[in-house]
Structure 1
């Protein structure tokens, strides 16, 4: 019975590797996105870092689509001199 319940419940909080996998990227890139605030910071549960799946969804939704300019990009970086 317990294993059936565990298969149905989606965790609200994800560990680092799970959060990166949820977004579809590696841990190193995920940490970069957290550092530059494109992904949320972790929450603390005692000594554990846990990422809120709802905050990850919001941050992912805020990422630019392909072909859209990221506000952090400088359009002049792509100009050939």
Structure 2
């Protein structure tokens, strides 16, 4: 009889048929397209919303993240593109 292997990782949750209202810090950072460190900085600078406490969980309201993201400033037209910056460095 095979022994069961214990891991410290949580088992994967099945996909939901809808987008969750509350998202974790990692999910919020990925949703916005930045690293967790950058997301934390954006929260500190009030560029992203503060989280909500749901029991023992800390969650961000996905709709609030959307609103804050939409309020971010547009990129200036005269700024260098990523490709220009990489070409200059390379």
Compute the TM-score of the two structures, normalised by the length of structure 1: 0.74
Per the alignment, residue 51 of structure 2 pairs with: 42
What do the CA deviations read for 1:19-74 (whole angstroms, capped 9, x no partner)?
A: 00000000000000000101000000012110000000000000001018xxxxxx
Equivalence map 1:1-80=2 (5 Å): 6-67=15-76
Distance apart, 1:9 and its partner CA: 1.4
Unaligned runs of 5+ in 2: 1-13, 78-90
State the distance in 2 between where 1:46 and 1:33 align.
24
What RMSD in Å do the two structures reach over aligned CA positions? Answer: 1.4
State the distance in 2 between where 1:31 and 1:40 align.
10
Q: Which has the larger radius of gyration?
A: 2
Indicate the SS of the match to 2:58: strand
Unaligned runs of 5+ in 1: 69-81
Q: Which consecutive aligned stretches of 4+ in structure 1 deviate over 2 angstroms post-superposition?
A: none
